[in-house]
Amino acid sequence: MSEVETTGESTIPVKSELKQSAKEEDGDEEERFECPECGSTEFMENSAKGEIYCLECGNVVDEDRVDQSKEWRAFDSSEKDKKARAGGSVTYTKADRGIGTEIGNSYEINNVSGRKRQQYYRMRKWSRRTSDSQERSLEDALKPIKRIVSQLNLPSSVSEEASRLAEKARDQDVFKGQGTRPTAAALVYIVARKQNVPRSLDEIAEVSGIKKRKLGDTYRNTARKLGIEMTPAQPEEFLPRYAEALGLSGSAQADARKIIQKARDEGVQSGRAPKTMVAGAVYLAAKLNDEEFTQKEIAEEIGVTEVTIRNSYQDMLDALNLDEDRIE
DNA sequence: ATGGTTTTTACTGCGTC
DNA sequence: GACGCGGTAAAAACCAT
């Protein structure tokens, strides 16, 4: 796409200048905040809610960040260079990235006649055949992506990235053989995880209407074909969302996080569903903070059974070398 | 398909409010 | 007596192979 100027501003960075300024930003110790509560500099972003949490104490440091600046996220500085640009923003959530030209709308056609009119029809047909057929099939993937993202309250960055990947997937014939809709759902799953706002297979299966099994197969395939490496989902990533929904205090949430980390160090994680660890850790952390939650409440919110909580809770106690009697 | 592991289901008894 | 909690066994689901 071209570097066209569409803003009214007088200082538009041109390409070369832009690279430089991106570099400067990097050297600039960008965003080195400290948590006002505990001074920690480690944060976790919950972009679904537009909040930034302190990793130490769970304090919400910043909120309402959704859509504040750019529609893309830079995961590293090289990506920043690639994505930074002048000109109008493109969006991947439209098949033609929102920059296409339509040939011949009905107004134009109805206001010309004869030879000219015939010509318009031919042009329109040609345009449809060449670009639109591919774009229409892409659109079949983009619509479900948007729907799922919105139903699961995911940030629009997920929609953007999933849409971008959908285009790549189309070019590599990933849709063929596994179906467009399942692949679309799989892309959302993949991107949500990549952006640290994971949703479980169950959740995506539910809103997409794709069977969990199929979704699982599809996402693994899709990730492999697109060369995306999936690191296992970490329990911590699910924590803020559930803690919030339950009304767990910030300090209990921070404890839960520490419990999870400690448990991982002790090797409790392997083979377990991330949810399971969250459930056990939240239950224990709530107890430690004298916040009474029943197993049932936590179980229902997180989507595990009470038995699972009990087992996981035991695992957490073991990992921490805590005696049950010493609690409360 | 299979087999090993985790999670759920179903059922139990115990204590408390 | 309903509720919360804890345990157990067997069934079901999950996942790598």
Are A176 and A206 in contact, with CB atoms under 8 Å apart?
Answer: no
CB A142 within 8 A of CB A166: yes
pLDDT of residue A15: 36
Q: What is the pLDDT of residue A167?
A: 92
Query: Nearest protein residue to C14's C1' (by CA)?
Result: A213
Task: Tell which strand C nucleotides have any atom below 7 Å from a protein Cβ.
Answer: 3-9, 14-15
With a cut of 80, say whether residue A299 has pLDDT above it.
yes
Decide if pLDDT at A149 tops 80. Answer: yes
- The string of DSSP codes covering A30-97 is TT----TTT----EEEETTTTEEEETTT--EEE---TTSS-SS--SSHHHHHHH--SSSPP-TTSTTT
Q: What is the pLDDT of residue A84?
A: 43
Instruction: Establish whether the CB of A250 is closer than 7 Å to any nucleic acid atom in strand C.
Output: no
The pTM score is 0.68
Burial class (CB in 10 A: 0-12, 13-18, 19+), A320: middle
pLDDT of residue A33: 54
pLDDT of A116 higher than 70: no
CA at A311, C1' at B15: how many angstroms apart? 21
Q: Which two tokens stand for residue A59?
A: 């304090």
Residues A166-196 have pLDDT tens digits of: 999 988 888 888 889 999 999 999 999 999 8
- Residue A70 to residue A161: CA distance in whole angstroms: 13
Quote the longest CA-to-CA distance of chain A: 92
Strand pairing class (A51-54; A43-46): antiparallel
Predicted confidence at residue A287, as pLDDT, reads: 92
Q: Which one, of A241, A309, A251, lies nearest residue A281 by Cα?
A: A309
Least confident range from A122-136, A206-220, A232-246: namely A122-136
- Residues in CB range of A155: below 8 A, 6 or more apart: A47, A48, A50, A66, A195, A197
Protein footprint of strand B, defined by Cβ closer than 7 Å to any strand atom: A 270-273, 276, 303-308, 311-312
DSSP class of residue A240 equals H
Q: What digits encode the pLDDT tens for the residues A250-297?
A: 999 999 999 999 999 888 888 899 999 999 999 999 999 999 899 999
The type of residue at A1 is M
Q: Which nucleotide is nearest to A305 (CA to C1')?
A: B8
Q: What is the pLDDT of residue A289?
A: 92
pLDDT in tens, A7-33: 333 333 333 333 333 333 333 333 345
Nucleic strand C under 7 Å from the C-beta of A213: yes
Instruction: Report residue A41's pLDDT band, with 50, 70 and 90 as the boundaries.
Output: low
Helical pair A201-208 and A212-225, crossing angle rounded to 10 deg:
110
Q: How is A188-218 classified by DSSP, letter by letter?
A: HHHHHHHTT----HHHHHHHH---HHHHHHH
Q: What is the mean pLDDT of residues A316-327?
A: 70
For residue A173, the model assigns a pLDDT of 86
Residue A309 has pLDDT above 70, yes or no: yes
Q: Taking a C-beta distance cutoff of 8 angstroms, is the pair A88, A6 a contact? A: yes
Instruction: Please classify residue A232 by burial: count the beta carbons closer than 10 Å to its beta carbon, then call 0-12 exposed, 13-18 middle and 19+ buried.
Output: exposed
Q: Which pLDDT does position A224 carry in this prediction?
A: 87
pLDDT at A231: 84
Answer whether any strand C atom is within 7 A of the Cβ of A214: no
Residue A181, burial from CB neighbour count under 10 angstroms (0-12, 13-18, 19+):
buried
Select the highest-mean-pLDDT range: A106-110, A224-228, A278-282: A278-282
